[in-house]
Amino acid sequence: MHILISNDDGIFALGIRTLANTIASHGYKVTVVAPDRERSATGHGLTLHHPIRADIIEGIFTSEVTAWSCSGTPSDCVKLGLSAVLKEKPDFVLSGINQGSNLGTDILYSGTVSAAMEGTIDGITSIAFSLASFTKKEFQPAANYAIKLIEQLIKNPLPEPTLLNINIPPVAEADIAGVKITRQGIRRYIENFQKRFDPRGKCYYWLAGELVEEINQPEHIYLPPDLPTDVQANKENFITITPLQYNLTDVVTVKRLQNQNFEG
């Protein structure tokens, strides 16, 4: 069983080290291909106009882990891992453990989710793991759950390659309320660009958006109204599992447009 791991916090981040070392300690073959520096909020960006450099890294992970540092984005890292580093497809692609949540509309910007999505596009069940805190650094409960989930998926494989977006509440393992299957919720931000000046007097802007949680999440047209959103369930200290897909087709609007004449 071979597992490819990446992230967007960079190869030196504690989250990816905890995840890779924990999985390797359970006897799985682990290869890490991760950015050489933090590449958060890069979305599904790719490096097209510059070379991508990759080097073997030693001394960060346990000796059972093979680790590569990559100059590219999280998506670059997974593409490189699948197409250049590994000789055969891995059984799973994992991303994380991210420092900070990836809930609701955050996934549209998330390098963590995009790295996992790259595996799904290539036909591999992939999982994005995020610890829902920017300050707490206890990643072990998330890594322990990753092992449980992988073992469950090995025993009961999903019928189709799928992306699972996992968010772990930042509480002690004993205080986790359980696990819930969720739908994607909504998180909105008030955009706030702070105007600043560098030592030479030149103006620049710093994005410092303020998070606004929506209490009344809209119902999903295909899912039951009692199915919680990832935002809601995570606030209640549940580990959330949200299946995602890269096909963004708006099915309802397609059907509406089919009933209209757009031929001129």
Inside any domain, residue 95:
yes
Query: How many domains does one find in the chain?
Result: 1
Q: Which of 210-214, 215-219, 232-236 has the highest mean pLDDT?
A: 232-236
Predicted confidence band of residue 258 (pLDDT cuts 50, 70, 90): confident
**% of the chain at pLDDT higher than 70:** 94
Inside any domain, residue 43:
yes
Predicted confidence band of residue 221 (pLDDT cuts 50, 70, 90): confident
Q: Distances from the Cα of 138 to the Cαs of 6, 23, 115, 143, in angstroms?
A: 19, 16, 22, 10
Residue-level pLDDT at 213: 63
Inside any domain, residue 40:
yes
Q: How many CB atoms lie within 10 A of CB 207?
A: 10
Residue-level pLDDT at 28: 97
Cis, peptide link before residue 97, omega less than 30° from 0: yes
pLDDT in tens, 157-209: 999 999 999 999 999 999 999 999 999 987 776 667 788 888 888 898 777 66
Q: How many CB atoms lie within 10 A of CB 10?
A: 17
Residue numbers of the domain that contains 68: 2-183+223-254
How buried is residue 262: exposed, middle or buried, by Cβ count under 10 Å (0-12/13-18/19+)? exposed
Inside any domain, residue 218:
no
Inside any domain, residue 148:
yes
In angstroms, what is the C-alpha Rg of the chain?
Answer: 19
Q: Which two tokens stand for residue 234?
A: 């995570």
CATH assignment of the domain containing 112:
3.40.1210.10
- pLDDT at residue 94 greater than cutoff 60: yes
Residue-level pLDDT at 189: 66
pLDDT in tens, 20-54: 999 999 999 999 999 998 888 788 888 888 889 99
What is the model's pTM?
0.90
**% of the chain at pLDDT higher than 90:** 66
